[in-house]
Structure 1
């Protein structure tokens, strides 16, 4: 049994073909509810300007030159907004509505599971509308992505409502942790996706099953950036798991594998491919990465499907 816990809704009519090629039995397909123009909200804009100006990593100079190339009126906000629009064009369908996702899932309901999305930055009436959609469409979970949804779970006014809804309706949260492509490779701009900010809400909602996408580790600049923070929160909260989408290479790192074993065990780790947004790698390549890794055979079985099967019950 192989379950891919992290497939994007772009290229969705190729998903089953890719799953078949990789020997995947069940796939969790997610959409993203994000508004590029939210970057212009005053408090968000101010936060990102401050973080970018304080950035000391290698992307700072490149990012500044990129912004200048956009024209005299260009800004960090323009850089982020334009990147998000370009990403939507590169991956058409990555941000379809909850209802459209549900229609697709119902065409293949024996093998596909849908996770909707809601943007925590929006007004409460918008939040309620999206939550109702997710429930009415029989979606099994919610995808949250603090980088491009521009929220911090320790500060956002709507996050408690979303968690309360998931707890009451037994929905799973797939929660992005680590950096993201484009401007969000600047670690300071992805700071809100540090798993440590989840402690407050998880202390309150201990029955919500939450999966830390990328186990806090995706970063081109600092690989494994918040790996330790992810393990800490998984150790403290029994209801928190992690997927290894976009970071299956950590299964070849002796130190990281040992730390997972000693801290939380591989019964808390799920396979995810992040298909098709990991450049040059399809679902099969990600499955093979797990199969050829240094994990013990029973750990590979846990990661590839047994753990996800238990969570989805």
Structure 2
């Protein structure tokens, strides 16, 4: 069963945000004008035989919840065999953020926290993250984030794996970190950080199979890399069908492919 570790079921307010103008230009997608039923996302998953997805909530600095934790919880509750949730919090209010993270994990059953640094223009070493890292360790859930340049019209500096992810992993060696979007153009940096730190992982969201950089494909084929790379789409930007097209051209053996599509995510997010 293929697991997608980074996807969103878009709300109207998420879809219409002007920070995604560049993505709409690239993909030709239109912003929503009416709510999208969750069955639409399930159909996209079924078309590509993706059995399970981690749905992300989104919280923006000024607008607040673009996709709220409670909305995600409703979709998960309706289809618990297909979805699990990743929490979003208000980074500007550290104690409120910690309490909301605890609620999302303990009461809503979410599987981790996702904070997108470019959204906050705050690198992962910003002091406001550190109470959340400690809480993730205490609760035994991963911290998920974005690395690499930004497609949305925001600065890219916060996505550098070195020094940011490297430093966080040094400060919190017990913290599981899942770095999404590969890290391009700093892919080699991201691979180096994943090699260095036992609890740092990479997910391939926002990239189709044919666009995964050669250096990451080579890493995926190693004994270390086969345990450290997870499949993701960043749906709805990229559909599961588009993301998986060309997978058979990467030259992955059967065991590595199964780890990449399923076992690594199941282990990291405690899904089995």
Q: Classify 1:128/1:252 alpha carbon distance in 2 versus 1 (closer, same or farther; 3 Å).
A: closer
Match of 1:42 in 2: none
RMSD: 2.3
| Correspondent of 1:16 among 16, 22, 42 | 42
Q: For residue 100 of structure 1, what is the aligned residue in structure 2?
A: 71
Task: Report how far residue 23 of structure 1 moved.
Answer: 0.6
Distance 2:104 2:90 in 1: 13
Q: Which has the higher helix share?
A: 1
Cα deviation digits, residues 123-179 of structure 1 (max 9, x gap):
33332342233232221111110001221122x222111011111111122211112
1:233 aligned residue: 193
Q: Does 1:212 align with 2:212?
A: no
| Residue 148 of structure 1, aligned match among 90, 101, 119 | 119
Separation in 1, partners of 2:93, 2:220 = 39
Q: TM-score, normalised by structure 2?
A: 0.81
TM-aligned CA deviation for residue 256 of structure 1: 4.1
Moved more, 129-138 or 248-257: 248-257
SS in 1 for 2:261: helix
User: Does the aligned pair in 2 maintain the 1:178–1:226 contact within 8 Å?
Assistant: yes
Which structure has the larger Rg over C-alpha atoms?
1
Gaps of 5+ in 2: 11-35
Where structure 1 has 5 or more consecutive residues not aligned to the other structure, the ranges are 39-93, 218-224
Question: How much has 1:266 moved relative to structure 2?
Answer: 2.1
Q: Distance in 2 between matches of 1:236 and 1:139?
A: 28
**CA deviation digits over 1:20-66, x for unaligned, max 9?**
1111111111111112479xxxxxxxxxxxxxxxxxxxxxxxxxxxx
Offset of residue 96 of structure 1: 1.6
State the partner residue of 1:119: 90
In 2 relative to 1, CA 4–37 (structure 1 residues): closer, same or farther, beyond 3 Å? closer
Give, in whole Å, the separation in 1 of the partners of 2:144 and 2:199. 12
Residues paired across the two proteins, number: 242
Choose which of 34, 50, 53 in structure 2 pairs with 1:27. 53
Residues 149 and 289 of structure 1, relative CA distance in 2, 3 Å threshold? farther
State whether residues 6 and 54 of structure 2, in contact with CA within 8 Å, keep that contact through their aligned partners in structure 1.
yes
